[in-house]
Structure 1
């Protein structure tokens, strides 16, 4: 299943079925601690990582690892193809300017230029061939998002799979860990992974939870956020409990942002904000990544037109039924406005 795709660089976990946990994953097994620092005073010990859809007294619902990156393959692909064509054109023009007397009059020289152009064309065709199946699978025929629910009442976790299947597991059946995957330009990105293993320790199922990050600390803090909910419930995470909206530890430690997944074709401004949140409101990275983000944005707008909206079965919805008067409901309609150095309630 799409094991050798360049899409792996863009936060799509490769197929791990039949493999065993890596050494890094065995060293970073995640568990639900009994004691958690509920009021960090300086640095954030937990971080929502812009990974939540909703929270209430019964369950929390998170996005899958690929949701923030929908459309990135089109943008990055267009960039890489442009680079290849630019290189081919530059080499051709460069040789003509360097050897003006030879260009056009020498048979070997002309064949050499044709060889360069043909080689670049073959490379472009090869890249398209290797990734067209992955592109159709992840970008055009997939679901808008693949939700994951942690239910405190039933002590179960629910996964929505890319083929539409819905999986219900008790927490004890799942191994949670942090996976390190190869990212763009040989960097590494980290994500929370959930595995099911057989008696031999081989992976039988693999799920990706929440937004990935190039910073290991972000992913560990996301797990701490989930951990606080699982142990103490939603009260410590409520955005209304923020004491200092300019303090990094306070605005990361409370659920000030939920992904708006109500409309499969959100407003252009919402799509742009979702992409920019990949940089966690870091002005340096926002400036540096602007050209790539523009391409990502265009690709995301295209891909969202072809995706399907996931719907939980009635049975799962019954197990996750929430009281209409639940005081701890948090969703996208409760989002705060996220600035570089503070958060404020949007209706303030």
Structure 2
């Protein structure tokens, strides 16, 4: 859907380039308070007086590549079986003609390439990490980014060039994130980039203003810890349940349907896609590793056990009807409709 910066082989955002004028014009300056209504967009994993952990930009849409790749892979394999079965194992008495060989020679490489593409899509999410956390330490002024290859980038908060990031996707269109650039000593050349915040594929540029208004006070404002704690406790009620664990199947369903949280009828309408996304998300999570911060990072980020502002997923309120049970029902209906439609198509083709 919107996997800018993510690749099976660890390809990220373009680097070793100069800052663009658009990036300069849309910069978020440290020390400049956001004026929008603060929103965290369900991105916080762990919170305390010392640091805050966030999920990466690919976490909200995890599962999409799995089910899409699975459909491409299974369709390609099915077509290959159909072609070879129809020519060699259908019980026909006529000899294999030239046109049959032409079809086999022409279509076999095509479907093999499609099968490889489907597997590639699956591997962008399965067998990797459940998420790629970002840690912001308010006291030491350090930002830690867990790279896709398992290494960690450590950079001072004040040295980051923060700007409005834009990405283009054939399915999602233009999407936005809070992009963090690590610059060379010349202050012009981008050496590394990562996404510090991502609302959703449905977010707009104003969504990034809201996320900045949530993030900046915690890192810079006097009383920012208490203000952010009240926001998390009162406005959202949920922290992402991936702190030293894989998310459970219930959260996989709930998170997949949260894109349409305010429109239950749209959740039902798009339940075949969202339900498949939930199943793909479960598979991706169950096959992926849990990210672990290196020991030196943990030592540099001590957590006080009696911290009154400490929050984790264990402090979440219960998921209610519209957050969990309605999405569960939609998943059953949507996946059932998809399987039924697939069965009808297969039976029609085999007649």
TM-score (norm 2): 0.71
- 1:215 pairs, out of 185, 199, 203, with 203
Q: Is the 8 A contact 1:28 1:178 kept in 2?
A: yes
Q: Residues of 2 paired with 1:81 and 1:241: CA distance?
A: 41
SS of the equivalent of 2:250 reads helix
Gaps of 5+ in 1: 1-7, 38-43, 88-109, 243-250, 343-348
| 1:307 pairs with one of 288, 307, 315 | 288
Partner of 2:333: none
Measure the CA separation in 2 of the matches of 1:130 and 1:197.
Answer: 35
1:49 maps to which residue? 41
Query: 1:154-165, aligned counterparts within 5 Å?
Result: 154-165=140-151
Q: Structure 1 241/67 Cα, relative in aligned 2: closer, same or farther at 3 Å?
A: closer
Give the CA deviation at 1:23: 4.7
Structure 1 residues 123, 180: closer, same or farther in 2, change over 3 A?
A: farther
Alignment partner, residue 100 of structure 1: none
**Aligned in 2, Cα 1:204/1:124: closer, same or farther, shift over 3 Å?**
farther
Q: Which residue of 1 aligns with 2:238?
A: 257
Q: Secondary structure at the match of 1:218?
A: helix
Match among 162, 187, 190 for residue 203 of structure 1? 190
Q: Give the distance between the partners of 2:17 and 2:290, measured in 1 at CA.
A: 31
Shift of the 141–341 alpha-carbon distance from structure 1 to 2, 3 Å rule, reads closer
Contact 1:50–1:257 (8 Å) recurs in 2: yes
In 2, Cα distance between equivalents of 1:261 and 1:195: 26
3-state SS, counterpart of residue 238 of structure 1: helix
Given that 2:73 and 2:119 are in contact with CA atoms closer than 8 Å, whether structure 1 keeps it comes out as no
- Which residue matches 1:30? 28
Whether the aligned pair in 2 keeps the contact of 1:176 and 1:192 (CA below 8 Å) is: yes
- Residue aligning to 2:316: 335
Q: Is the 8 A contact 2:132 2:291 kept in 1?
A: yes
> Which stretch shows the higher mean deviation, 67-76 or 24-33?
24-33
Kindly indicate whether the alpha-carbon contact (under 8 Å) linking 1:84 and 1:120 is maintained by their aligned counterparts in 2.
Answer: no
Q: How far, CA to CA, are the matches of 2:218 and 2:295 in structure 1? A: 25
SS at match of 1:61: strand
Structure-2 change in CA distance of 1:312 and 1:120 (3 Å): same
- Number of equivalent positions: 299
Where in structure 1 do 4 or more consecutive aligned residues deviate above 6 Å? 81-87, 117-121, 338-342
Q: What whole-Å deviation, never above 9, does each CA across 1:288-328 have from its counterpart, x for those lacking one? A: 43211111122122222321111112222122112111111
* SS at structure 1 position matched to 2:2: helix
- Where does the alignment leave 5 or more consecutive residues of structure 2 unmatched? 7-11, 80-97, 324-351
The 5-angstrom pairing of residues 86-105 of structure 1 reads none
Provide the C-alpha distance between the structure 1 equivalents of 2:180 and 2:307, rounded to a whole number of angstroms.
29
Secondary structure of the residue aligned to 2:218 is helix
SS across alignment from 2:309: coil
CA shift, 1:205, in A, is: 0.9
Cα distance change on mapping 1:218 and 1:332 into 2, 3 Å? same
Q: Which has the higher contact order (CA 8 A, sep 6+)?
A: 1
- 2:160–2:182 contact (8 Å) kept in structure 1: yes
The aligned counterpart of 2:253 is 272
